[in-house]
Structure 1
Amino acid sequence: MDQRVLIAGDRSSAGKTTVSMGLMANLKDKGYVVQPFKVGLDYIDPSYHSLITGRPSRNIDGLLMKDERIRDIFFDATKDADISIIEGVRGLYEGYSASNDIGSTAQIAKVLKTPVILVIDARSITRSASALVKGYQLFDPEINFSGVILNHLGSKRHKEKAEEAINRYTNLEVLGSIPRDSFTGIKMRHLGLVPAKEGEKTDKNFFNTIENIKRLIADYVDIDKIVSIAKSSEDIENLKSSNTIFFQSSQQNTVKIGIAMDEAFNFYYYDNLYLLENAGAKLIYFSPIHDKKLPEVDGLYIGGGYPEFYAEDLESNKSMLTDIKRFCEREKPVFAECGGLVYLMDKMVIKNDEYSFVGLIDGYSSMNRDRRVVNYVLGKFTENSVIGRENDKFIGHEFHKSIAFCGGKNYTINLTRGEGIKDGKDGMKVYNTLATYTHFHAASFLPFAKNFVENCKL
């Protein structure tokens, strides 16, 4: 279904996530089958999209993916949907480079020929809001701007002046004006929002928060007008490619892969899991916090998340720690990503406390630094591993605050961009386990799913 709209911000924290979530919730209540998307590499916002719509939110990124692959993902996701809401990333024009739009929300708007609604942080500006809108329009005439939502308005007079200026000096309609003191109750952390899977289990007010957001958007945004804009989207059926077959399964589920999934570990791109299934895997979910032993599986995938907030729970589950270490020592295929890397090390240090973890990788991780690492990375495998082969190149990303101090020397990845575990080295290999700070997107690094499943067959 081609009906779609893209919610972009004039900057980070303009309010596009709140607007996107509220739109999705209201449209679902109206009976629409809503397909969510998130521009860029983000696990957390999509977790809310998926919870609200009941459908997997798909990440699309113009640096990692060719235009054709972005459209493949879009068509695969929307084949049974009524309307798509695409949430942008950062400011509309922010991307990989200052000299082009690669990796930006603007790039996705053009690749998918999608109407853009610009969310503006209007705090302390009125007439200047119209100059901001005008500048965004003139900067790239290929963008199909279809409306404006003003956020963080301080008073009725503030609203009236800002709306009047935009109506007078631009050709765009103000589709919503949201008061500054509107309380949504979204909780934040050093990597963004608290993930939805964690929030729904640990926050008694979590679902009230979703309701607050839904009411906020219903009260202050013209949802019916946004639906009309989505319905006016250009038909892009002619842009379908034969590569859409990439998302069709051609194999039986011949191996079992255990997926660590709970409050501590839930950073997985939907397409990573989807493509593992298509490559022949049956996914078996387990909790390193709550389950006492591993399920019977042929391989393990331990993704990212927030193990630092559940370090005591993870440490206390001794039988799971032992099971995972023995599994790795049997040279079974294991891929551990970021939080998974941290979990496989000897211990984690948080302030003055130490927590013992799996103990497969010699060394420890520490949360005792101020900055976080958020990067695209460019790299190459220097030897074969469970997901990559020697000389395979990839683009991925880093997304963490911890720092790892590894005693081992067997790094299997060289990065030409990014930090990795140490000095541009990443991919610690122990037995048949690969542990990285790099996050991979399987629709970008195509060998990921096939190689992992093939290794699990051996």
Structure 2
Amino acid sequence: MNEEQKVEPTMKRRSRFVVAGTGSGSGKTTVTLGLMRAFAQRGLKVQGFKCGPDYIDPTYHAAVTGCPSHNLDSWMTSNDYLMDHFVQASEAADLSIIEGVMGLYDGKEPLGLTGSTAEIAILTDSPVLLVVDVRSMGRSAAAIVLGFQQLEPRVRIAAVIVNRCGSASHYETVKAAIEESCGIPVIGWLLRDNSLSIPERHLGLLPAIERGELEPLFNYAAERVAEGTDLDRLMAIAQAATPLQNPPVELGLLGQSIPIDTSPVIAVARDAAFNFYYTDNLELLVRAGARLIEFSPLRGEGVPEQADGLYLGGGFPEEFASVISRNLAFMEDLRAAADNGMPLYAECGGYMVLARSLTDRAGRQHEMAGIIPAHTVMLERRAALGYREVTAREDNLLLKQGEGLRGHEFHYSVMNYDNTQRSYAYDSKGRGGSQPEGYVRGNIMAAYAHIHLASYLPAASRLVEACRLYREQRLQ
């Protein structure tokens, strides 16, 4: 009997590991991207995952691997959903690489694991590859790894990569110290190399990725990582990961599947200005019966004619405000959609575009769609950051009054409303307390929060059902 036959039928083999850091800036993103590209160059299908709500790193992953990356967030979604999603999304992959967030144990709570890389490693029962920045230290590196090893026994640190070594002899010093004190193999190292620095998260980053300008960096990272890392040993660690079982997730809450010829069409704005979408949000809309069609306002496209609903995600519309403003077809289609009662859902950047104007950081004002009676103004300092728990103030496209969703908010703008009566979409609760947020009117709903539909599964069905009803009315 071979090894595969010994596995229970309900169990799923998933070769995987988590790349974690001792803290932000330790080099885990560089290592992750280098490993992803290096394994892909070996002919493996690599699937990327990102711990937490971040959008930028998954964009890197997609560029390096050639397939969409998925977020794993243990606060926004249930543990059962997270596990089901991970098992399903990794099914076709030869190797899944999960990039952590911040330091291994950093999360939503000072004394807990919620929202941390460690929690994701425990939930997915994944071995951890710890990235340690060893600049200006020798044996002290062992003390750092030992502390990470002992803080939480349920986390299995299977191997270490040491980053920013001064020389080969420096590497041998820290390797010997870590392995002797911790019993954990050090399987790779990187020299200090400014050429390996991932660009800062400036607002032109995503267009640069789309144009392929970072390909040389990705290939260089893969070359350096492969040169200093025992990839065969790391792959063996990944393949030895415990088989996983699909938990029973009530995806039946999404409703019955709809024949493709009667499925409502949701148009999704997708380009460098509108690109912040959780992959599984889109998948959940499809599971609920929608057919998605992408279009690009930056390429001069308007809303597709067959659209029965519209989803404007977040991104960086402020960087392209003049281009968006000049796309008269897009602006006119937005206004017509709103006037005709088409379901129109917008988050963050999309919310900004529905306002009357957008003032960029240079003080230039650009005319926007004018659907929401407000003016967006960009600030030099961040206006909001953090998890949000939102509760509907009245029935809307996603929720009944009193129902809630979880999400994340991150923006550098404020929305200044005119002196008109405003209906808020949510009560939004974060670290600073609760406050009303967003805008709702008829089939229009918009807010700053990037919500995760898996935090309340009926929400996806509600949006698709609204689009189906609009479709029936439109075709009468």
- Quote the Cα distance in structure 2 between the aligned partners of 1:247 and 1:178: 47
2:164 alignment partner, one of 152, 160, 163: 152
1:80 aligns with 2:88: no
Q: Answer yes or no: is the 8 Å Cα contact 2:255–2:288 preserved in 1.
A: no
What per-residue deviation string (whole Å, max 9, x for no partner) do you get for residues 82-111 of structure 1? Answer: 221111111110111112101111011111
**Could you say if the C-alpha distance between residues 433 and 242 of structure 1 is closer, same or farther in structure 2, counting changes exceeding 3 Å?**
closer
- Quote the Cα distance in structure 1 between the aligned partners of 2:169 and 2:39: 30
1:301 aligns with 2:316: no
- Quote the Cα distance in structure 2 between the aligned partners of 1:11 and 1:19: 14
1:307-346 counterparts in 2 under 5 A? 307-346=317-356
1:215 alignment partner, one of 187, 198, 223: 223
Partner of 2:427: 414
Q: Answer yes or no: is the 8 Å Cα contact 1:250–1:278 preserved in 2.
A: yes
Q: CA deviation at 1:346?
A: 1.2
- Quote the Cα distance in structure 1 between the aligned partners of 2:232 and 2:17: 13
* Counterpart secondary structure, 1:450: helix
Q: Answer yes or no: is the 8 Å Cα contact 1:348–1:365 preserved in 2.
A: yes
Q: Which runs of 5+ in 2 are unaligned?
A: 1-12, 470-476
Residues 338-347 or 437-446, more deviating: 437-446
Q: CA deviation at 1:364?
A: 1.4
Partner of 1:374: 385
Q: CA deviation at 1:252?
A: 2.5
* Counterpart secondary structure, 2:159: strand
Partner of 2:239: 231
Partner of 2:177: 165
Partner of 2:188: 176
Q: Answer yes or no: is the 8 Å Cα contact 1:72–1:244 preserved in 2.
A: no
**Could you say if the C-alpha distance between residues 159 and 168 of structure 1 is closer, same or farther in structure 2, counting changes exceeding 3 Å?**
same
- Which residue identity is paired with 1:273? L
* Counterpart secondary structure, 1:384: coil
* Counterpart secondary structure, 1:183: helix
1:49 aligns with 2:57: no
- Which residue identity is paired with 1:69? Y
1:385 aligns with 2:389: no
Q: CA deviation at 1:46?
A: 1.0
**Could you say if the C-alpha distance between residues 247 and 159 of structure 1 is closer, same or farther in structure 2, counting changes exceeding 3 Å?**
farther
**Could you say if the C-alpha distance between residues 308 and 202 of structure 1 is closer, same or farther in structure 2, counting changes exceeding 3 Å?**
farther
Q: Answer yes or no: is the 8 Å Cα contact 1:378–1:418 preserved in 2.
A: no
1:394 aligns with 2:405: yes
Shift >6 Å, 4+ stretches: 244-249
- Quote the Cα distance in structure 1 between the aligned partners of 2:255 and 2:198: 37
* Counterpart secondary structure, 2:173: helix
What per-residue deviation string (whole Å, max 9, x for no partner) do you get for residues 352-373 of structure 1? Answer: 2111111111121122232352
- Quote the Cα distance in structure 2 between the aligned partners of 1:22 and 1:89: 17
* Counterpart secondary structure, 2:396: coil
Q: CA deviation at 1:249?
A: 7.7
1:206 alignment partner, one of 194, 203, 214: 214
Partner of 2:374: 363
1:265 alignment partner, one of 267, 274, 279: 274
1:454 alignment partner, one of 465, 468, 476: 465
* Counterpart secondary structure, 2:85: helix
Q: Answer yes or no: is the 8 Å Cα contact 1:360–1:430 preserved in 2.
A: no
* Counterpart secondary structure, 1:345: coil
- Quote the Cα distance in structure 2 between the aligned partners of 1:229 and 1:279: 37
2:259 alignment partner, one of 247, 252, 255: 252
* Counterpart secondary structure, 1:424: strand
Q: CA deviation at 1:428?
A: 0.5
Residues 51-60 or 356-365, more deviating: 51-60
- Quote the Cα distance in structure 2 between the aligned partners of 1:24 and 1:247: 33
* Counterpart secondary structure, 2:391: strand
1:60 alignment partner, one of 69, 72, 92: 72
What per-residue deviation string (whole Å, max 9, x for no partner) do you get for residues 299-351 of structure 1? Answer: 10000001111112111212211221221122210110000011111111123
- Quote the Cα distance in structure 2 between the aligned partners of 1:412 and 1:292: 28
Q: Answer yes or no: is the 8 Å Cα contact 1:75–1:240 preserved in 2.
A: no
1:121 aligns with 2:133: yes
Q: CA deviation at 1:398?
A: 0.3
1:426 aligns with 2:437: yes
What per-residue deviation string (whole Å, max 9, x for no partner) do you get for residues 160-207 of structure 1? Answer: 33223212321111111111224136332357x923xx224446x322
Residues 408-417 or 102-111, more deviating: 408-417
1:278 aligns with 2:278: no
Q: Which runs of 5+ in 1 are unaligned?
A: none
Partner of 1:194: 205
Q: Answer yes or no: is the 8 Å Cα contact 1:398–1:418 preserved in 2.
A: no
- Quote the Cα distance in structure 2 between the aligned partners of 1:4 and 1:27: 12
**Could you say if the C-alpha distance between residues 248 and 57 of structure 1 is closer, same or farther in structure 2, counting changes exceeding 3 Å?**
farther
What per-residue deviation string (whole Å, max 9, x for no partner) do you get for residues 197-221 of structure 1? Answer: x224446x32212212221211222
**Could you say if the C-alpha distance between residues 449 and 326 of structure 1 is closer, same or farther in structure 2, counting changes exceeding 3 Å?**
same
* Counterpart secondary structure, 2:425: strand
- Quote the Cα distance in structure 2 between the aligned partners of 1:389 and 1:137: 46
* Counterpart secondary structure, 2:24: coil
1:15 aligns with 2:27: yes
- Quote the Cα distance in structure 2 between the aligned partners of 1:29 and 1:68: 33
- Quote the Cα distance in structure 1 between the aligned partners of 2:344 and 2:463: 9
Partner of 2:300: 291
Q: Answer yes or no: is the 8 Å Cα contact 2:254–2:457 preserved in 1.
A: no
- Quote the Cα distance in structure 2 between the aligned partners of 1:220 and 1:275: 40
- Quote the Cα distance in structure 2 between the aligned partners of 1:25 and 1:449: 34
- Which residue identity is paired with 1:391? G
- Which residue identity is paired with 1:241? P
Q: CA deviation at 1:23?
A: 1.2
Between the aligned residues of both structures, percent identity stands at 36
In the superposition, the TM-score normalised over structure 1's length comes to: 0.93
What per-residue deviation string (whole Å, max 9, x for no partner) do you get for residues 121-162 of structure 1? Answer: 222222211110000011001111101111122333432332
- Quote the Cα distance in structure 1 between the aligned partners of 2:300 and 2:214: 24
What per-residue deviation string (whole Å, max 9, x for no partner) do you get for residues 19-55 of structure 1? Answer: 1111111112212222211111111111221232233
**Could you say if the C-alpha distance between residues 184 and 247 of structure 1 is closer, same or farther in structure 2, counting changes exceeding 3 Å?**
farther
Q: CA deviation at 1:74?
A: 1.2
